[in-house]
Amino acid sequence: MHPFVASTLGGLIIGLASALLLLSQGRIAGISGISASAAFGPREGWRLAFVAGLGVGGLVLLQSMPTAFAVPVDRSLFLLAAAGLLVGFGTQLGRGCTSGHGVCGLGRLSRRSALATGAFMLTGFATASLLHLMGGAR
Amino acid sequence: MKLEAESPLGLSISAFASGLLFALGLGLGGMTDANTVLGFLNLAGDWNPSLAFVMLGAIAVYAPAYRLYAKLHRNEQAPWQSSMCNVPTHTHIDRQLLVGAAIFGVGWGLGGFCPGPALVSVVTGAVPVMVFIAAMALGMYAFRRFAAKGL
């Protein structure tokens, strides 16, 4: 399958998954918010169930298409730790990530989410591009 | 026993299904391959535009679904209880929103993982994923413990 076709299909499934949560319970499928609350409260059952679904989905992928997983080839553990800290803190301060702002927010035509998505895309592009230009990321 | 959609069990079942589907979409879409993600975010190298198709595909489904949701909600035909309707309604643009999103983007460009794909990748047991997840949890905790108080 051409990568663009797989990507589009993957996107359609992500859209379905988010639409399911919206239409069944009026909730936004924002993974940073759901997982932070599942870990640190308020720990409601549906949040734990959503995170469990992500895990079981991961297991299904691991069985059916293990090549879907890859860790970055040119990033040290130190960089990944720094990345995790920034992603964890930034998504809480900005109240959303790629799912909540990028998919659900843009799909709702939310101006807040459009600006947030613009901001994280801009710094994401800038960071990855600068690291590349500096000749590797270790 | 009749299973009500808004019973705690009903909510958990639909949330579990949503999480499961979401993970499959992320995997098929290439988001759980951090090198594909970095190939998209790095404009200075051999650019890989495929992830733009993930976002377009997702929005193509979600936008009409949201219109349907909004219509049902307006006409009070919603299958859910209005008390649990949790779609954000605030429209205020503040510094926290933009600074937080910008910080998140730097982390995304550094590591190639955003929260969803990282959580789905936990099952691989790969050390870089575990390091990222532990640090992400710490970042979330730090925000709640320290920063949220001062905002």
Boundary-marking domain end, from B39, B58, B89: B89
Q: Which domain holds residue B1?
A: 1-89
Identify whether residues B37 and B84 lie together within a single domain. yes
pLDDT given at position B72: 87
Identify whether residues B75 and B54 lie together within a single domain. yes
pLDDT given at position B5: 66
Mean residue pLDDT of chain A comes to 95
Identify whether residues B51 and B106 lie together within a single domain. no
Q: Which domain holds residue A127?
A: 3-133
**Closest chain A residue to the Cα of B25, Cα to Cα:** A10
Separation in Å, CA of B2 to nearest CA in chain A: 16
Identify whether residues B6 and B78 lie together within a single domain. yes
Instruction: Give the Cβ contact number of residue A63 at 10 Å.
Output: 9
Identify whether residues B112 and B40 lie together within a single domain. no
Identify whether residues B95 and B85 lie together within a single domain. no
Identify whether residues B72 and B126 lie together within a single domain. no
Q: What is the pLDDT of residues A2-60, one digit of tens each?
A: 889 999 999 999 999 999 999 999 999 999 999 999 999 899 999 999 999 999 999 99
ipTM rounded to 2 decimals:
0.97
Per-residue pLDDT tens, chain B, 151 aa: give them.
Answer: 455 667 888 899 999 999 999 999 999 999 999 999 999 999 999 999 999 999 999 999 999 999 999 998 888 776 665 555 678 888 888 999 999 999 999 999 999 999 999 999 999 999 999 999 999 999 999 999 988 776 6
Q: Is the pLDDT of residue A137 over 60?
A: no
pLDDT given at position B3: 58
A36/B contact by beta carbon, under 8 A: yes
A19 falls within a domain: yes
pLDDT given at position B1: 44
pLDDT given at position B75: 81
The mean pLDDT of A53-79, rounded to a whole number, is 97
Identify whether residues B34 and B67 lie together within a single domain. yes
Boundary-marking domain end, from B40, B56, B89: B89
Give me the number of domains chain A comprises. 1
**Closest chain B residue to the Cα of A56, Cα to Cα:** B20
| Best CA proximity match to A100, nearest among B112, B53, B86 | B86
A35 falls within a domain: yes
The DSSP symbol for A70 reads B
Identify whether residues B37 and B67 lie together within a single domain. yes
Return the structure tokens found at B77: 């035909």
Question: Are the beta carbons of A68 and B139 separated by less than 8 Å?
Answer: no
pLDDT given at position B85: 66
Q: How far is the C-alpha of A131 from the C-alpha of A125, rounded, in Å?
A: 10
CA dihedral A21, B61, B39, B42 (to 10 degrees): -90
Separation in Å, CA of B74 to nearest CA in chain A: 13
A138 falls within a domain: no
Q: Is the pLDDT of residue A61 over 70?
A: yes
pLDDT given at position A135: 79
Identify whether residues B23 and B38 lie together within a single domain. yes
Q: Which residues contact A88 (CB under 8 A, 6 or more apart)?
A: A36, B107, B135, B136, B137, B138, B139, B140, B141, B142, B143
Identify whether residues B5 and B73 lie together within a single domain. yes
Greater confidence (B80 vs A1) lies with A1
Boundary-marking domain end, from B65, B89, B113: B89
A48 contacts in B (CB within 8 Å)?
A: 12
Give me the number of domains chain B comprises. 2
